Structure 1
């Protein structure tokens, strides 16, 4: 999207808000959230382009609040003022007709404050016509399957109290798998705001090495406890579980949190485990659904101790807490786990004998009150002996507690981190991701 187009969208959004302020009745308050993008989507299969195209999309969510009630509409946003105002005004009238019929909301969060922000993150993406040839050049002889999504994404917010935020970022993700003739695969993700060809070439080179290792005879392991190295992508999968009944203050108050024993100081994680929200990378907006700004950094677990939960304004109102800018679901938006001391070249020697796990899937809580998570290994997972990869393994199901693998059994974290991006495209292209190191764990429990 060109600078002129972005400017037009911003002007149109601002004009929409100004007009809503003029039309607002004295007893009414409102919020407006904008999500817009211009993205290129290209799907690859067998190292050929199977589908490609450009999507220009935008929608706004208008929420009307009056007399402790609220109602909302989601409507298209084109950037054309005349069209957008007609649709928005019709939605406003419909909301007014319906709102008195709705129940009272005792914890309704009304717009307050005058926070404003404007962030524009420009990148160096591949030109649209260069995406396919650039990606396929390094994999033309491989059974390569993947999905590229790249372009500009806009998130914005404004409300009747005067808060206004504008966030624009250029970004791309390439989510891919490379298969061997036996159907085994190496999975990878390449993402960022600037396309670095040498870095992409290095990722593919590493994937080819793992693909060669997958050609060895598969080793079937019995259930049991094994020393395990988890690559950053696998660590990110485990960390994601904390957004589902973990770091939320509401979940803690309602007895649904896996971190309740940590909160009560009945349990402790390893002193080398440190988790924080870090918005300073600029990959995701700091403002939430109410226009509130999270701190640039918020420590959550420091040296194995829970120091903060995520608290949004509804939860704060219900449980007499202080909000800290969390979103509606009190989930992690910009999580980062601090690195440790394990160097890349020492991963296999330190592992010595055990499992090298590149990816996980099918994760779920098996016993949330005790922090137990179940899931399966997936893609390029290997058995290691004497510090050397011996064979790929058959998929294993695991079931273990975060109080073990991030606690007493955590041996070390790598001294490097990887950014594992969000790759979802449902309704719109997702922003953000997880910054994590790899980790080395003893006695990790595999059940099937």
Structure 2
């Protein structure tokens, strides 16, 4: 597949006219999808696709088009040349783009690690065996993902990886279920069985009569999944340099007023340990580590080429959306085995959903609890909680109200498969907080 992409890039390059340049982006996958319901396979399938995005450049003018490739060299060659002619015609009517910037210094890279995954059939057999006796509902996506970049200067970048993402729930009745996931590049059957056993234990707890508590501020433990929903809101322009400059960022006060989070909070874009490509669609190489928040202080931002040119900065590998694709939050000191004891009396939050900003300027977020959320007394789970709405600020939750972060962290891969499998991921701990504010 790598040679196939490079051959197409060479063919495009040969058809360029004087003063024309091009970049092209290649996104492909060979994926197995298995959908489960009632602990049986409901829909198995395999997807093989290749998408090429071609951009033609003439000075400050540029136009872009995308096409799905067939895998037939002759057909795809003709398709690329057709796209090139169409883009050439469009450039006559395209205005100059004053903030257009793309890589012109050649920096070629290649990463082709061997797959560490067993066959999908082996994974499915282990899932079905472990799910016996439960109403197991979920979807498994597994297989190889390919990303490539090429331009007219001779730069060539390639990355391929094989990973899996199992997103599942154990369903009890009505709105009662335990939701969890398991993802990575190496399938560990023992680790999966441990997660399944934990889910079954929580499912048994859901059989107890649910209770309701009054709105108010409660001590709470947020699992990595729940914390991910909160920290993930920072990808809504929170760490975007453009948004910080235009005062639209939810973290604006951290830059303008030197507001700080708890000193144990360290957040970075960790491309080296993520599954996203280490180059972006304009040809710039991403640093292996990009510190964004260190010891609670804002120390960096995501800077795209456009923002870099507009504000006379140096781009740092961010795409135009200036969001994190390999978010990494450092671990803390709290052992996972001691979470309930340290929580004492309060709320164990497994999942959050329907999040939105209620006050963006103060990084205030509202949302709902979901699935297995429990009331805990004296370090012991007593009963499941009925659904509640929270409304609180990350400045408080990860600031003065943060008590501890767990030593153990979890890799969470974005389960989105619209158009193509997502390569975004997060790695983060759980968090013990005081005074988590519930309003309904």
Q: TM (normalized to structure 2)?
A: 0.98
Secondary structure of 1:104's counterpart equals: coil
- For residue 207 of structure 2, the aligned residue among 211, 215, 224 is 215
5+ residue gaps, structure 2, are none
1:29/1:110 contact within 8 Å kept: no
Q: In the alignment, is the contact (CA less than 8 A) between 2:334 and 2:407 conserved in 1? A: yes
RMSD over aligned Cα atoms: 1.2
Alignment correspondent of 1:315: 307
Deviations 1:64-90 (A, max 9, x none): 111422111111223432221110000
**1:18: how far off?**
1.4
Uncovered stretches (5+) of structure 1, i.e. residues with no partner: 1-8
- Counterpart-to-counterpart distance in 2, 1:183 and 1:234: 18
Q: Look up the SS of the partner of 1:381 in the other structure.
A: strand
Cross-structure match for 1:413? 405
1:376 matched to 2:347: no
Q: Pairwise mapping of residues 28-427 of structure 1 onto structure 2 (< 5 A)?
A: 28-427=20-419
Query: Runs of 4 or more off by more than 2 Å in structure 1?
Result: 77-81, 121-126, 128-134
Q: Give the Å deviation of 1:131.
A: 4.1
CA offset at residue 332 of structure 1?
0.6
The aligned counterpart of 1:3 is none
Cα contact 2:102–2:284 (8 A) shared by 1: no
Deviations 1:169-188 (A, max 9, x none): 00111100001135400001
Deviation for aligned residue 1:127: 1.7
CA contact (8 A) 1:361 1:375 kept: yes
Q: Quick check: 2:29–2:145 contact (8 Å CA) kept in 1? A: yes
Q: CA deviation at 1:63?
A: 0.7
Q: Does 1:22 align with 2:29?
A: no
Bigger shift: residues 73-82 or 426-435 = 73-82
**Deviation, structure 1 residue 167:** 0.6
* Distance across 1 between alignment mates of 2:258 and 2:189: 49
3-state secondary structure, aligned to 2:173: coil
Q: 2: distance between equivalents of 1:62 and 1:306?
A: 36
Question: Are the counterparts in 1 of residues 224 and 409 from structure 2 also a CA contact under 8 Å?
Answer: yes
CA distance in 1 between partners of 2:254 and 2:423 (Å): 30
**C-alpha distance after superposition, 1:171-215 (max 9, x if no partner):** 111100001135400001011112211111111111000001111
What is the CA–CA distance in structure 1 between the aligned matches of 2:376 and 2:115, rounded to whole Å? 40
Distance (Å, rounded) in 1 between the aligned partners of 2:116 and 2:313: 42
Count of residues paired in the alignment: 440
CA distance in 1 between counterparts of 2:398 and 2:71 reads 48
- Cα distance in 2 for residues equivalent to 1:143 and 1:88: 48
Structure 2 counterpart SS, 1:161: coil
Equivalents in 2 of 1:360, 1:123: separation in Å?
33
